[in-house]
Structure 1
Amino acid sequence: MGHSYVGETLASVQVGTLLLSLYFHSVTVGGAALKQEALFENGGTVLNHSMALVQRMETLLALGNGSDVTLRVQTLGTDEVKVIQAHTLVLTLQSDEFDELLLNRINGSSPLVLSEAPDCAAVFDKFIRYLYCGDISVRLDQAISLHKLASKYRVWALQQGLAQYMTQHLSSESPSGHVIGWYQYAAQVGDAALQDSCLQYLSWNLSSVLQSREWSSISEDLLLSLLQRSDLILGSELELYEALEAWISHNQPASPTVERALKAIRYGMIPPHHLFRLQKQSSLMVKYYESVRDILYLAFQFHSASPIQLAKYFEVNCSIFTPRNYLSSSWGSPWVINSPTRDDRSFSFQTQLGPSGHDSSKRVTWNALFSPRWLPLSVRSTYTELGAMQPTRTDAGRPRIIVTPATSSPDFAGVSFQKTVLVMARQQGKVVVRHVYNFHQSTEESGDFLIDADLQRRVSEYLIDSSLYLHIVVKPLYHTLIVAKK
């Protein structure tokens, strides 16, 4: 596992010696001992010897020279004890908790006894070194333990830096996975920002999560939370059902949890021939058939009747009839745009008219237009004879995308199309969904599409090998046309 240095991203920290307080700014391991920071008009300069000072502080900790406090770190549940010779001034400058502990000691010469869980005790030396040197190397499997120590001892800069590290390394490869563990830890300590980042990553990259070893470790609460979401990005609803079946087989949850999870599957989004197979071949479905029988019956009705006819009697705006962001070819297409700043691009693809079996053989052809520089509607030209909006291009414009049907049809009655554009990125060597843009009927007037993208930069986070990797998803939504009869 590679090491990543967090010290560069942390806030400036105060580090003391036995004689005076010294301030470090933007400490970087491996830098030169003497560095010019800035030049003044009068010929003056700032001499930065911070690296030499860091080395001396590290030596001070290692040798324990001038130590005035002994830390005895006991590992809970074991007889293991670590002894660290430390310095009161350093500890109290860096940690509010150490400040209180040392102030309230009854015997000022006695060791300070600290009890730590095994995972925290294993990285305690690394934590103390950070207090002296202001930088720290972090592995994925150490992030939670170090965050616990930073929180317990109220070292706020380190705590924030570790939370930022976790947010930036959600896509990193690890043998057993880490995002689910980070999510559960964030929920436990009340870090809403980290929790939301983890949940977003899991939702947007669910297909890869379902296929990982990490999937079996997901908690019941997180599983049920994910199953309720319409923004999940995955191959198909059948893929989600099969992953749920594997999770239940591995974890053997109580029956109420199984029933809640099975009822959250959107069976209306699974083609009838697969539903028939599940009824007969899925041991999970056979065992819990009675709990989902009514939902399956409604799904079969949905597939057999015209959506307009069904809408006369049922509320079709409920979740069972609402697609998620499916990546299969029935619901959209990938689109790779090479050199996206060069000129306008167009692209055509087809999707299924709707998820109902009644519409499964009907196709909608879509025209997609991408423009790197596009002005608002007020200064744009009118429709062409093909019905496609042509942008007025200018160097001052912003990237825009429009996705419009190539033709109209009476079959469109009662159906609206939500469009979702996924932007891929490469993070830690892996291609992931980095941005998601949702449009409803009109895609040309979204104000935030690639609003922060600098497509001119070859290293832009929006680009992979200088190309823009998109995936367009079209989600057909049926409408209740007549109030359902009671």
Structure 2
Amino acid sequence: MEYWGSLKLGNVFLCLKKQFEMQSQSKVQPVNSKHLCTGKMQNPSSELLSDEKEFIAHFVSLYDDKRFTDLMLRVGGCRYAVHKFVLITSSEVFEAMLGQKSWKEAEEAEISLTEEEECIPVFDLFLRYLYSGSIQMTTDIVLPVLLLADKYGIKVLRESCIDYMLRHIVESPDTNRTLTWYQYAKMTSQDELQELCLKFILSNFDIILQAPDWLEMTKLELVEFLSSSELIVENEIHLWNRVEAWLCSEHNKESLQENLESILPLIRFTMILPKDLLHLESSSFFSEHHDMFAEKLNLGYKHHSLAIDSGAVTSKEELYRNYYSADYGLCYSFKLDKYNSVNKIESRISIDCDIPVQFMPTSHKKTSQQIIPLQFVFYPKGYFTTITLYGTYLGRQSDSTSLRLLKRLQPDRPPIKVQLTLVLFGMKNKVKYVASTYNQETVICKDNLELFVENVIDISKLTQDDCPYLIHGNLEGKVFIKVQDCGFHLLEEKASQKHD
């Protein structure tokens, strides 16, 4: 047992395998070993005989075989018969706990381990991994297994769990756990996982709203998301309905009043249709917390009243999110069939957009002062343009994916701050999701009537065989164009920023 206690390899069967291979090689060594050492000659009959699968199967069979165990672990209400040498050679923590006499557990035949509640049901799988080096992973159990790997210092398992998460951020709502993984990544400074989770959450918030861990999300994360204007959601009332479900969930009932004080100011009531405001006002939840809703509800009604009456432009205290409901008039869809087959000239996507300065129901006729006429142009196979000079066609082109946003009319209008979001869809695990998001903000004014951006997305990624941004070979996407502010004060802000 002293030999096993001194080993510091990740998994004991790897040690046994290495010893077995050394013995096998010694049997097939040629008589004249001196030539092998010098590299001058090798026996042509030399062959490595490997029964790796059979060897691992024999080792795995030791798990839960009480004939040779020398330690009992008690976790929750379960007891597990294990081999000390397996735990010691697999885990830095178990090596210290069971291999050093300074720990009282080293002398005991049965020890109790205190685990997090969510880790107890997967502890059996965790132990089995120590014997087999494999585990059948799902989105439901990966975080508890990762917590155990972290606790007991099993680096290989920890890295495998993180890799699994990175591959499975895109999942259907019923199996999606991105919210919980995002919380873990923030707490443990897993920067890559945190960045990818946040990107998916903001761009696919409708999936997140239906995910099982939505109701278990912390207030800190909810406040972070609701503060963002980059959320892609159908409309504000649907967002509020899911927030109400979170407020009333078992996890949050005791802190409902406190949570409502923090969250209600982040709901953008001016972006809710009047009919939906009326429906909200008639709900039992509103009746129970009437005083807290009064100011926000009045702001919503006031906004719509002024917008409909005489076309007055109200304050932009509440900004647009990326709403894709037709009620807002902010979102335009496009599709390019057979992306790889179409030539560059025919790939150009051009959309004339009439963007509202402020939100009002689409059923109401809008005046010219309430609409900004813009043209969105996307070059998904590279930029090109042609001009005529003295009867000769001149062209300019590049292989960089590009976009343009131009003001079509009304050059003398006050400056406007425009936020543009371009998304491309992908398909993974039978889930259609936003696979790429590009955001840009600009001030359009008399001296700056156009936004032009090159290399929006790496064109090499669009042309690769397993492109994540194509669905059955087609390029599908949406563009959101939002006027978030207007007025000559924008020029002063722009000049101040340039000076700084």
TM score, norm. by length of structure 1: 0.74
Comparing 14-23 and 288-297, the one that deviates more = 14-23
The answer as to whether partners of 2:209 and 2:242 remain within 8 angstroms in 1 is yes
CA distance in structure 2 between the aligned counterparts of 1:21 and 1:127, rounded to whole angstroms: 26
From 240, 264, 272, the counterpart of 1:262: 264
The answer as to whether partners of 2:355 and 2:374 remain within 8 angstroms in 1 is no
The answer as to whether partners of 1:170 and 1:179 remain within 8 angstroms in 2 is yes
The answer as to whether partners of 2:424 and 2:436 remain within 8 angstroms in 1 is yes
Match of 2:332 in 1: 333
Q: Which amino acid aligns with 1:126?
A: L
| Cα drift, residue 439 of structure 1 | 2.0
Give 1:124-139 correspondences, 5 Å limit.
124-139=123-138
Q: Cα–Cα, structure 1 residues 273 and 91, in superposed 2: closer, same or farther, change >3 Å?
A: closer
CA distance in structure 2 between the aligned counterparts of 1:44 and 1:476, rounded to whole angstroms: 76
Q: Which amino acid aligns with 1:245?
A: E
1:434 aligns with 2:435: yes
Match of 1:96 in 2: 92
Q: Which amino acid aligns with 2:157?
A: L
Q: SS of the residue aligned with 1:239?
A: helix
Q: Cα–Cα, structure 1 residues 427 and 19, in superposed 2: closer, same or farther, change >3 Å?
A: closer
CA distance in structure 1 between the aligned counterparts of 2:284 and 2:395, rounded to whole angstroms: 55
CA distance in structure 1 between the aligned counterparts of 2:189 and 2:472, rounded to whole angstroms: 38
Give 1:281-320 correspondences, 5 Å limit.
281-303=282-304, 304=306, 316=316, 318=317, 320=318
1:173-201 per-residue CA deviation (whole Å, 9 max, x = no partner) reads 37475333334444555545434433332
1:166 aligns with 2:165: yes
Q: Which amino acid aligns with 2:356?
A: L
Match of 1:348 in 2: 351
TM score, norm. by length of structure 2: 0.72
CA distance in structure 2 between the aligned counterparts of 1:462 and 1:46, rounded to whole angstroms: 50
Q: Which amino acid aligns with 2:469?
A: Y
The answer as to whether partners of 2:280 and 2:286 remain within 8 angstroms in 1 is yes
CA distance in structure 1 between the aligned counterparts of 2:437 and 2:11, rounded to whole angstroms: 36
Match of 1:56 in 2: 55
Q: Which has the larger radius of gyration?
A: 2
Q: Cα–Cα, structure 1 residues 461 and 328, in superposed 2: closer, same or farther, change >3 Å?
A: same
Q: Cα–Cα, structure 1 residues 193 and 69, in superposed 2: closer, same or farther, change >3 Å?
A: farther
Q: SS of the residue aligned with 1:450?
A: coil
| Cα drift, residue 124 of structure 1 | 3.6
Q: Cα–Cα, structure 1 residues 156 and 297, in superposed 2: closer, same or farther, change >3 Å?
A: same
CA distance in structure 2 between the aligned counterparts of 1:337 and 1:238, rounded to whole angstroms: 32
Where relative contact order (Cα < 8 A, 6+ residues apart) is larger, the structure is 1
| Cα drift, residue 152 of structure 1 | 1.2
CA distance in structure 2 between the aligned counterparts of 1:46 and 1:215, rounded to whole angstroms: 60
Comparing 159-168 and 209-218, the one that deviates more = 209-218
The answer as to whether partners of 1:423 and 1:434 remain within 8 angstroms in 2 is yes
From 470, 480, 499, the counterpart of 1:463: 470
CA distance in structure 2 between the aligned counterparts of 1:61 and 1:47, rounded to whole angstroms: 27
Q: Which amino acid aligns with 1:455?
A: L
| Cα drift, residue 460 of structure 1 | 0.9
1:403-440 per-residue CA deviation (whole Å, 9 max, x = no partner) reads 434x2126852423221001111121101112210122
Comparing 358-367 and 225-234, the one that deviates more = 358-367
1:236-293 per-residue CA deviation (whole Å, 9 max, x = no partner) reads 1122122223333445343131132111111222244543x15642333444443343
How many residues align structurally?
Answer: 430
Give 1:27-46 correspondences, 5 Å limit.
none
CA distance in structure 2 between the aligned counterparts of 1:174 and 1:121, rounded to whole angstroms: 25
Q: Cα–Cα, structure 1 residues 71 and 392, in superposed 2: closer, same or farther, change >3 Å?
A: farther
From 386, 392, 396, the counterpart of 1:392: 396
Q: Which amino acid aligns with 2:418?
A: F
The answer as to whether partners of 1:140 and 1:174 remain within 8 angstroms in 2 is no
Unaligned runs of 5+ residues in structure 2 are: 1-9, 22-41, 443-449, 491-500
Unaligned runs of 5+ residues in structure 1 are: 1-11, 24-41
Q: Cα–Cα, structure 1 residues 45 and 373, in superposed 2: closer, same or farther, change >3 Å?
A: farther
1:451 aligns with 2:458: yes
Q: Cα–Cα, structure 1 residues 426 and 107, in superposed 2: closer, same or farther, change >3 Å?
A: closer
The answer as to whether partners of 1:423 and 1:471 remain within 8 angstroms in 2 is yes
Q: Alignment RMSD, CA only?
A: 4.1
Q: Cα–Cα, structure 1 residues 400 and 107, in superposed 2: closer, same or farther, change >3 Å?
A: closer
The answer as to whether partners of 2:421 and 2:481 remain within 8 angstroms in 1 is yes
Match of 1:181 in 2: 180
From 374, 378, 381, the counterpart of 2:382: 374
Q: Cα–Cα, structure 1 residues 373 and 213, in superposed 2: closer, same or farther, change >3 Å?
A: closer
Q: Cα–Cα, structure 1 residues 280 and 133, in superposed 2: closer, same or farther, change >3 Å?
A: closer
1:328-366 per-residue CA deviation (whole Å, 9 max, x = no partner) reads 231111211122242222232534422244997255555
Q: SS of the residue aligned with 1:348?
A: strand
Match of 1:8 in 2: none
CA distance in structure 2 between the aligned counterparts of 1:415 and 1:17, rounded to whole angstroms: 68
| Cα drift, residue 234 of structure 1 | 0.2
| Cα drift, residue 67 of structure 1 | 9.8
The answer as to whether partners of 1:332 and 1:474 remain within 8 angstroms in 2 is yes
1:202 aligns with 2:204: no
1:186-243 per-residue CA deviation (whole Å, 9 max, x = no partner) reads 4555545434433332222112333455433333332222211111110111221222
| Cα drift, residue 93 of structure 1 | 4.5
1:16 aligns with 2:14: yes
Q: Cα–Cα, structure 1 residues 19 and 399, in superposed 2: closer, same or farther, change >3 Å?
A: closer
1:148 aligns with 2:147: yes
Give 1:467-486 correspondences, 5 Å limit.
467-481=474-488
